[in-house]
Structure 1
Amino acid sequence: MVLYSINEFRTGLKIIQNREPCVIISHESIKPGKGQAFSRVRLRQIISGKILEKTFKSGDFLESANITEIRLVYVYHDNEFWYFMDEKNFEEIAVAAKIIGTNIKWITTQLHYIVTLWNKVPILVTPPDCIELEIIKITPIKKNSTGSSGVKLATVSTGAVVKVPFFIQLGELIKINTRLGTYMSRAK
């Protein structure tokens, strides 16, 4: 167990706060003219994504989180788990659907994902920032006076629904921003 003092705080440091792994988003060391030095820290809880703001005094120590991020390939899923494989040693890691959460709509085979492990247990699956998916269904367009500009809803191969421009057709490959869930462009 490694302990960090407030002098060792830096952005990206992973620590344990309230028995949950957190990452430091930002920190500010303050040395007042009178009194003890302290540090204001913004933390993001890795599991829930909540943002916390904490103040630590100069004598405080925080425990480091045993967090590992590994790049794995999604292989398949069954009723309970989604399986990711390490391409180096061919080990598989099973991840429950509740851990994947809303990112489940961006999971497709043979794509690389970042799986975050806390004490060797998966706690988070992060898809790539941009993925290419095929459109399998498009909502019909009602002809009206809006002209040719605007958007329509398209369902992609993973089941996610994305707003796309009118010129996009059924069966096309499109690039999607997974952070925002939005159309970026046609795939080349």
Structure 2
Amino acid sequence: MAKMQANQMRAGMVIEFEGQRYTVLKQNIMIPGKGAAVIQVEMRNVKSGAKKDQRWRTADTVERLTTEDKEYTYSYADGDNLVLMDPESYEQTTVPKDILGDRLPFLVENMTVNVRLIEGEPVAMTLPETVTLEITEADPVVKGQTASSSYKPALLSNGVKTMVPPFVTAGEKVVVKTEDASYVERAKG
């Protein structure tokens, strides 16, 4: 941890405030008619996700935490944890499964993931934007339905439901977004 002046806070930095860790979302310097300038900071609690607005005087100091974004290769799940491997040192590290929330089903073996560490502790993990999965079930096309009019429900091999164009059938591989399971395109090759 390092102390810094409140007016040095920038979006993306992580600070410790009242025993909690916050990511700085944005900051504004407000200069009142009289008196010293004030820094208005919008920040998000790293653990709870709750937003908070806080004001500091420019002379105030805050605790800045060191953050690092690191790439890992996902190896396997172990109980409530995910085992990741450092592709450079081959050292293993574990992170709790709930770090991914509802994106957990999109994690596949040997996938490259990005982990944000605060003071060496993993607090967030991002997946690649898209992943290729097989369709295990797809509703039949309704008679008279045109390709452009609507998507139909389908089930991905990871158990997540998605909506696909009428021409996609079970057994095909498709590219979906890891963020919301939305269909991107048929997988090539």
Distance 1:80 1:180, change over 3 A: closer
Task: Give the structure 1 partner of residue 84 of structure 2.
Answer: 84
- 2:4·2:64 contact (CA, 8 Å) conserved in 1? yes
Q: Structure 2 counterpart of 1:151, which letter?
A: Y
Task: Give the structure 2 partner of residue 126 of structure 1.
Answer: 126
Task: Give the structure 1 partner of residue 103 of structure 2.
Answer: 103
1:24 and 1:72 map into 2 onto residues whose CA distance is: 25
- 1:108·1:158 contact (CA, 8 Å) conserved in 2? no
Cα offset for 1:156?
1.9
2:129 corresponds to 1:137: no
Q: Which runs of 5+ in 1 are unaligned?
A: none
Q: Deviations over 1:26-50 (max 9, x none)?
A: 1111122312201111112233333
Following superposition of structure 1 onto structure 2, how do residues 146-157 of structure 1 map, counting pairs within 5 Å? Answer: 146-148=145-147, 149-157=149-157
Q: Structure 2 counterpart of 1:131, which letter?
A: V
Q: Which runs of 5+ in 2 are unaligned?
A: none
Q: Structure 2 counterpart of 1:120, which letter?
A: G
2:71 and 2:48 map into 1 onto residues whose CA distance is: 21
Task: Give the structure 2 partner of residue 59 of structure 1.
Answer: 59
Cα offset for 1:147?
4.1
Structure 1: 4+ residue segments shifted above 3 A: 144-148
1:95 and 1:157 map into 2 onto residues whose CA distance is: 24
Aligned-residue CA RMSD in angstroms?
2.0
Q: Deviations over 1:120-168 (max 9, x none)?
A: 3322221122222222222x23635554421122222322221111111
Q: TM-score, normalised by structure 1?
A: 0.87
2:180 corresponds to 1:180: yes
1:124 and 1:37 map into 2 onto residues whose CA distance is: 34
1:164 and 1:45 map into 2 onto residues whose CA distance is: 36
- Number of aligned positions between the proteins: 187
2:110 corresponds to 1:114: no
* Identity across the alignment (%): 26
Moved more, 171-180 or 87-96: 171-180
Cα offset for 1:8?
0.7
1:107 and 1:147 map into 2 onto residues whose CA distance is: 33
Q: Structure 2 counterpart of 1:182, which letter?
A: S
2:93 and 2:17 map into 1 onto residues whose CA distance is: 26
2:127 and 2:18 map into 1 onto residues whose CA distance is: 27
Q: TM-score, normalised by structure 2?
A: 0.87
